[in-house]
Structure 1
């Protein structure tokens, strides 16, 4: 599923991810080869409380470091950006009881589409549909967890130079599908993230409208490198492939509940 990126491309994606995670964090703690990104305001959001390994590190030390830096939380989550680093980390993490998975980095290699008709919205427009989607997709989540998973978009506004929330509306005026768009025009890089469709509006083309809008706006902003992430074990990456995206690498994920 993966292919090779040029030396100039993959580091740009990795730099963008590292910069975004650092910029949106409430606080960070550096360690050799990476940093902990933490935010007590959204303690139930794993995406806001984790370790990000961005370079060579001591793999034997990482599980203990995760306990030290994430010890106040009920989860342990470590993202590793480089395949060769992840390979030497697998054994220590598995011995410490971690599960391993991968998330594809998918770069848009297709034609830039016309504007899809989605609108730029604020967080107020997304609160209700995002909360409903979490309750549908993860019915075990508590009200506190849903609150953090919704409100964490406030922190994302700090993650990149230009952050936009996009939504496609149904004919009766409901938010049907939405996504984040993170733009760094100076670096020519854009990320599309958290593309979700409300249950009542699945299969009606709304996700495609949001994605087309995001790609069009990113190109319009001068971002020639456009990418997103997709879980390797789930179906959306195949849909993204049909929309002009190519899997070009992966984020390696080590997690223990």
Structure 2
């Protein structure tokens, strides 16, 4: 891997780790990484997980998998799920067979950096306060989980409050449909010269109408002064191709193992 690419990948992964540590109420050290835990949202995968960073692994892949599986069972013992995020591509690929055998689903994610031409500013997107964002999150979660109790939907929405501690600047942005409803939304995290675009989402009734492109264009213009702008995309899903058309290129891959 070219040195510049490797440096940007390390910087993006480091940003994510620091963000997770700053936002969590409780951090637990595990061999080769750490866990984040939030008692307020025990069902939230993103707020309760093990994170394994890049670095040398002294064991064989099977031994490393056994160690991590035991750590997940111990640290997440009070949770109904187990999530282990491995931020090293080769290690994650090597661990995959053992995790699948243990009943975990495997997802590969792409860390993508913006390498395109910075767009000019846009007035289409607007910054959303928490008071404006929370009803939108409740609406979208209710659409995704129509049978869930109201308290579950509210908890899923309110997790966003913890993100405010994750970086020096955390902002929430949206683009409205002609009827005034928020059609697309995303978070922007900025810290130490790095910017991450996260939680990009377009409502089911508003897709294919250019709202996501307008939003992304606005966020790229907003973060134009950052030394590195990145996002994370599912390697098996179509948004990665949309981001590539906007000027994002793959830096590297990470792996997530989930059992529910």
TM-score normalised according to structure 1 size: 0.91
Cα separation, partners in 2 of 1:175 and 1:4, compared to 1, 3 Å: farther
Q: What is the CA–CA distance in structure 2 between the aligned matches of 1:8 and 1:233, rounded to whole Å?
A: 25
Counterpart contact for 1:4–1:249, Cα < 8 Å: no
Q: What is the CA–CA distance in structure 1 between the aligned matches of 2:142 and 2:227, rounded to whole Å?
A: 36
1:116-144 deviation line (CA, Å, top 9, x unaligned): 32011112112222222223234454433
1:24-82 deviation line (CA, Å, top 9, x unaligned): 11100011211001111122211111001013454321001100000101000011101
Equivalent residue, structure 2, for 1:193: 198
Equivalent residue, structure 2, for 1:244: 247
1:241, distance to aligned residue in structure 2 (A): 1.1
Equivalent residue, structure 1, for 2:76: 70
1:165-184 alignment runs, 5 A limit: 165-184=172-191
Cα separation, partners in 2 of 1:4 and 1:238, compared to 1, 3 Å: farther
Cα separation, partners in 2 of 1:83 and 1:4, compared to 1, 3 Å: farther
Q: What is the CA–CA distance in structure 2 between the aligned matches of 1:140 and 1:101, rounded to whole Å?
A: 26
Cα separation, partners in 2 of 1:105 and 1:3, compared to 1, 3 Å: farther
- CA RMSD across the alignment: 2.0
Does residue 233 of the first structure (1) align with residue 236 of the second (2)?
yes
> 2:80 aligns to what SS in structure 1?
coil
TM-score normalised according to structure 2 size: 0.90
Higher mean displacement: 10-19 or 131-140 = 131-140
Q: Note the residue ranges of structure 2 that are not aligned, 5 or more in a row.
A: 58-63
> 2:5 aligns to what SS in structure 1?
coil
Cα separation, partners in 2 of 1:24 and 1:92, compared to 1, 3 Å: same
1:153-183 deviation line (CA, Å, top 9, x unaligned): 1000011111000111223322121100000
Cα separation, partners in 2 of 1:79 and 1:141, compared to 1, 3 Å: farther
Q: What is the CA–CA distance in structure 2 between the aligned matches of 1:36 and 1:173, rounded to whole Å?
A: 40
1:3, distance to aligned residue in structure 2 (A): 9.7
Q: How many residues align?
A: 252
Q: What is the CA–CA distance in structure 2 between the aligned matches of 1:43 and 1:3, rounded to whole Å?
A: 40
Higher mean displacement: 195-204 or 75-84 = 195-204
Cα separation, partners in 2 of 1:134 and 1:81, compared to 1, 3 Å: same
